[in-house]
Structure 1
Amino acid sequence: MSNTRYKYIHDKIQNGHAVYMPYVLIGYPDLDASIAAAKTLIDNGADGLEIGIPFRDPVADGPVIEAAANHALDNGFKVDQIITFIREIRSYAPTTPLTLMSYYNIILAKKPDIFLTALANVGLDGILIPDLPPEHAEDIYPLTQKAGLEMVFIVAPTSDASRFAKITPYAGGFIYVVTKMGITGMQDQYDQNLAALFKTIKAHFALPAIAGFGISTAQNAQDMVKNGADGVIIGSKIIKLCEDSYKEGKLSPALLSAHTQEIINAL
């Protein structure tokens, strides 16, 4: 684990503490509000952030995040705002690990080497590309390494030894563990073999195993840690709280603050 900011969450886990890495969507409800949301999450103890980019045809995002992405795009989201967002959050939180979730087409639409280097230069730590087959990781991996970015990979309940072997040479930062098949959302339905899945992942990777998909409450977060997760990512619930907190062009921090503290206390 070469990235020193990811080392922070690794060390925290090694000391017996689970981590919380909420998801924010750049440009939702607007750019300033998404920046305010990220700062609120950090102020209330988030250990890291997963940062989403609005995209019209997501393969992994549920209806809440998809609707928010469409809202941001309809309101004029531009890819250049990614740089603005990350620069602002890195300046605000110099030690917080920042992971960008980007669909592959967004990267390919730019010059990948220049784009990835620009992201690293403003303070990004890692990138998760959910629609990148592990067989194609070798195409982008040299560029991420040159830029100094870790590649984060998804492991699902259906993942087998073959997938583990394919991503092992490239995986960094942490392993994003899908707790149920399908898309993101706030459903309380998880794979029945989660404990076995986390055990297998930890036997194979020397990286934190962070649970995502379908997590929204303190009880959900506790359940994940009891099953072996090193931490949790919450997305759709955060987006819904941003929606509920946005009034007259400004984001009120109260709901996000309360929810963040609730999750952290549960961990």
Structure 2
Amino acid sequence: MTASTRTFGLEAIAEIFQQAKDENRAAFLPYFPIGYPDYDTSLDAIAAMAEVGVDGFEIGVPFSDPLADGPTVQAATQKSLENGTTVKTCLHAVHKLRERGITQPMLMMSYANPLVAYGSEQFVIDAKAAGADGLIVPDLPPEEAAYFADACAREGMALVFFLAPTSNDARIQLVAENARGFIYVVSLTGITGARDALPADLSQTIANIRRLTDTPLVLGFGISTPEHARMMNGLVDGFIVGSAMVRAAKEGVDAVGKLAADLRNSLG
């Protein structure tokens, strides 16, 4: 598929989950922040991951107060900000990645503040024009998302909300009713970051959510190894790896590509 003929938005995201399901595996969507360790290298890292067959991307927009992020991602986004990365920089990056022929879905991950400052509706319009397929906003609950939700619905874009292990049935139903594309399930309470082991009650957390929705579930927080990735098969529809990808970037673009390949190949 060429960049000019690729499907877009919700349709593109639905396709990656269907393809992964057909292959009896979970979809793999790595996170990487634009501007880390510098602008050009961040694009090269994303391109390297695309080349080894990841299913989609969470494209990080840096913010000065990333409450949900662990020390690895916080340090990377701080470096990105020091490099002068802005919301416009990130939109330009998505456009450039599409020009390079990358066809996988890209969801822009940003805290709400920079997007509100940019203009909620205008950001959605510009993100679509750049080639993004949706938004992930960690500090935006459905109750406060009307402007983003209306714009995303109008533009055919995904809008992803979060559930935690502590979410009750009413919360699960609210998020499920408002989610567009998939639901981001936080594997544990706390901040992002690679862990040695995933929670023992993770399968129960997923089962509790599955009882109430058939919206695709994507797991994040703490996933870092091929062993973790294999555990995702049959458990969730997809998973996100962030801190481990950022750590690999310290060793260079090739290391990012190799880790992405190892994680992708572990899925079968």
Question: Would you call these one fold, judging by a TM-score over 0.5?
Answer: yes
> Match of 1:21, SS?
strand
Could you tell me whether the CA contact under 8 Å between 2:94 and 2:131 is conserved in 1?
yes
Equivalent residue number for residue 249 of structure 1: none
Q: How does 1:36-185 map to 2 (within 5 A)?
A: 36-93=44-101, 95-185=103-193
Show the 5 A alignment for 1:180-195.
180-195=188-203
Deviations 1:83-130 (A, max 9, x none): 111111223345311111111111110121112101011111110111
For residues 130 and 238 of structure 2, the distance between their equivalents in structure 1, rounded to whole angstroms, comes to 26
Structure 2 match to 1:254: 254
CA contact (8 A) 1:137 1:170 kept: no
Instruction: Give the conservation status (yes or no) of the 8 Å contact 1:10–1:207.
Output: no
Q: 1:206 to 1:42 in 2, by over 3 A?
A: same
1:243 aligns with 2:250: yes
Residues of 2 paired with 1:241 and 1:85: CA distance?
20
Partners of 1:196 and 1:154 lie apart in 2 by: 17
Deviates more, 1:1-10 or 1:13-22: 1-10
CA deviations on 1:13-47 (whole Å, 9 max, x unpaired) are 33122211111101001111110010000001111
Conserved? CA contact 1:157–1:191, under 8 Å: no
Unaligned runs of 5+ in 1: 246-252
* 2:28–2:238 CA contact under 8 A, matched in 1: yes
Measure the CA separation in 1 of the matches of 2:73 and 2:110: 14
Distance 1:77 1:149, change over 3 A: same
Secondary structure, counterpart of 2:108 in structure 1: strand
2:34 to 18, 26, 29: 26
Amino acid paired to 2:173: A
Q: Which amino acid aligns with 2:262?
A: E
For the aligned residue pairs, the C-alpha RMSD in angstroms reads 1.7
Q: Give the unaligned 5+ runs of structure 2.
A: 1-7
User: In structure 2, what is the Cα distance between the partners aligned to 1:88 and 1:169?
Assistant: 34
Q: Measure, in 1, the Cα distance between the counterparts of 2:20 and 2:49.
A: 19
What TM-score do the two structures reach when normalised by structure 2? 0.91
Runs of 4 or more above 4 Å deviation: none
CA distance in 2, matches of 1:106, 1:194: 32
- For this pair of structures, how many residues does the alignment match? 259
Alignment deviations for residues 113-164 of structure 1 (CA, whole Å, 9 cap, x no partner): 1121010111111101110122212342112212321111111111111112
User: How many angstroms apart in 2 are the aligned matches of 1:259 and 1:2?
Assistant: 27
SS at match of 1:168: helix
The percentage of counterpart residues that share the same residue type is: 34
Q: Deviations over 1:230-251 (max 9, x none)?
A: 2221100111111221xxxxxx
